Amino acid sequence: MNLKEKLRIIHKSKRSPSTEAPALRDSLDSLFRHRKSRRSRDIENVVEGETVKTEYGEVFVSETVTDILYKEKIDELTSAFQATLSGKADRITHELHKTLFLDLETTGLSGGAGNYAFLIGIGLFSEGRFTVKQFFLKEFVFERAMLFLVENLLAPFSHFVSYNGKSYDIPFLINRYVLCGLSTTIPEKSHTDLLYPSRVLWKGLLDSLKFSSIERFIFKKERTCDIPGALIPSAYFEYQREGVLRNMKEIFHHNLDDIIGLFLLYHELSLRFSMPWKYKGIRLPLAKHLFDRFPDRAATLLKSILNDSTDRKETYDAMNLLSIYHKRRNGYTQALSLWKSMIELAPAESTAPFIELAKYYEHKRKDYNAALAMLDRLLAASHKTDDNIAHRRNRIRGKISKKSK
């Protein structure tokens, strides 16, 4: 077969003009009309705010000025709170006018490239009032515009406050800046994540440490007309696909409540960490938190528990910590008194004080008979033993035998 015949075969085998092109064109036209229709039902119709134009595109910005007023006393409380959390100094300067309260609404919980922060809520004090600014991503292509405006707001501030932001909001936001090729001052700022002090005070007391659970427990607040957080991503995708505004007002309100709640929780935690003696339920967990870094402050709290607590377990645990405090300072007179009181308070549960007394008699007083008697009392009270107790008893018996020879 020569070249001419081959070309003839190829020419005959060519497909006829595609019949799919008109259908594809119709689909694109329909999509374009749909996008124009969707944009006609814009967010301004349900949320008060304005569209701001930047060199990167458009961003919808909503601003809410609350009734929360700035007071200098709050700076004093938050400074004491920050000092307690940091463990670096008795007092550090912390000013609310340099602080931002941050919360994100995102399209998913992972930080992958396909997940966006479509609503960035930021609370700050402006002209003496707590103000919340919300930046909304109307179109995915405008993400750089939104991040650009957010960075302009963030730059002058030095501190963030969030709830679970150290592991989620801040890394998520930094990742979006990286993916968009924009620089940000976020890594330069200090950060208080309120999840951690909330754990200090209420872990074990509450079934959940979700922000909504903390709100209900501390402020007795039940949100009304709120959209559950789990439904927010799907509501935003519905807005993107079909222009459905049905839940958008609720999403903005949900985010606004989160930001205001952040400030209220920050203030409440500052009160409790700064003046714990006024809050009986938090003195023991806070003393445990302070024990290694601020032992004298922890001891003061523990003594206040012994003065007025009617809770048997709280009293026992406070005695145990306070005995360790005195033992570390060779205050054996106080420690001995506490160990004996612990045995009287809960003899069946008091393994620790029996052991401590046995160690004291064995090593400090060299009174091996008293040490052995203390271990025998432990066995009689608890009706149980373990290898450590058995080993200690055998060792003390050996010392008694050796001494008697």
- pLDDT tens digits for range 187-199: 999 999 999 999 9
Q: Name the segment(s) of the chain with CATH classification 1.25.40.10.
A: 277-404
Is the per-residue pLDDT at 32 higher than 50? no
Residues of the chain within CATH 3.30.420.10 domain(s) are: 40-274
Instruction: Give which of 95, 377, 168, 139 is closest to 241, Cα–Cα.
Output: 139
**H-type helices in 14-162, by residue range?**
20-40, 72-86, 143-154
- Structure confidence at residue 56 (pLDDT): 95
Q: Is the pLDDT of residue 171 over 90?
A: yes
The angle subtended at Cα 94 by Cα 281 and Cα 196, nearest 5°, is 40
pLDDT for res 10: 64
The residues that bridge with 126 in the sheet, in sequence order, are 129
CA atoms within 13 A on the CB side of 304: 18
Give the span between the Cα atoms of 70 and 262, in whole angstroms. Answer: 15
**Percent of the chain's residues with pLDDT above 70:** 85
The pLDDT, as a whole number, for residue 40 is: 40
Q: In what order do the strands lie in the sheet with 57-69?
A: 50-54, 57-69, 129-136, 117-126, 99-106, 159-162, 190-193
**The pLDDT of residue 42:** 84
- Name the pLDDT band for 37 (thresholds 50, 70, 90): very low
Q: Is 180 exposed, middle or buried (0-12, 13-18, 19+ CB in 10 A)?
A: middle
pLDDT of residue 33: 47
Question: How confident is the model over 237-289, as pLDDT tens digits?
Answer: 999 998 889 899 999 999 999 999 999 999 999 999 888 888 878 999 999 99
Q: How confident is the model over 131-136, as a mean pLDDT?
A: 98
The percentage of the chain sitting over the pLDDT mark of 90, rounded to a whole number, equals: 62
**How many whole angstroms separate alpha carbon 199 and alpha carbon 270?**
14
What φ, ψ does residue 317 adopt, rounded to 5°? -65, -35
Give the CA-trace dihedral at 215, 221, 222, 226, to 10 degrees: -70
The 10s digit of each residue's pLDDT in 75-115 is 777 877 877 776 655 545 567 889 999 999 999 877 667 89
The three-class DSSP label of residue 329 is coil
Q: Rounded CA gap, 227 and 250, in Å?
A: 6
Question: What is the pLDDT at residue 16?
Answer: 47
Instruction: Please check whether residue 276 is in contact with residue 261, taking contact to mean a CB–CB distance below 8 angstroms.
Output: no
Q: Of 75, 116, 118, 73, which Cα lies nearest the Cα of 98?
A: 75
Comparing 14-23, 217-226, 233-242, 301-310, the range with the smallest average pLDDT is: 14-23
Which residues neighbour 169 within 8 Å (Cβ) at sequence distance 6 or greater?
A: 102, 103, 104, 162
Q: Is the pLDDT of residue 28 over 50?
A: no
Higher pLDDT, 72 or 370: 370
- What's the whole-number mean pLDDT along residues 22-51? 64
pLDDT at residue 310 greater than cutoff 50: yes
For residue 1, name the pLDDT band (cuts at 50, 70, 90).
Answer: low
For 301-310, what is the mean pLDDT? 93
Report pTM.
Answer: 0.80
Instruction: Express each pLDDT in 335-364 by its tens digit.
Output: 999 999 999 998 777 789 999 999 999 999
State residue 263's pLDDT score: 95
Q: Where are the alpha helices (DSSP H) in 243-382?
A: 248-274, 283-290, 295-308, 312-328, 332-345, 351-359, 368-382
pLDDT band at 383 (very low <50, low <70, confident <90, very high): low
Class in CATH terms, 40-274: alpha beta
CA distance 139 to 142: 5
The CATH fold assigned to 277-404 is 1.25.40
Q: Can you tell me which residue has the tokens 């060519």? A: 14
* Residue (of 128, 111, 112, 17) closest to 71 by Cα position: 128
Q: Give the number of other Cβ atoms within 10 Å of residue 64's Cβ.
A: 18
- DSSP string over 244-278: --TTHHHHHHHHHHHHHHHHHHHHHHHHHHHSGGG
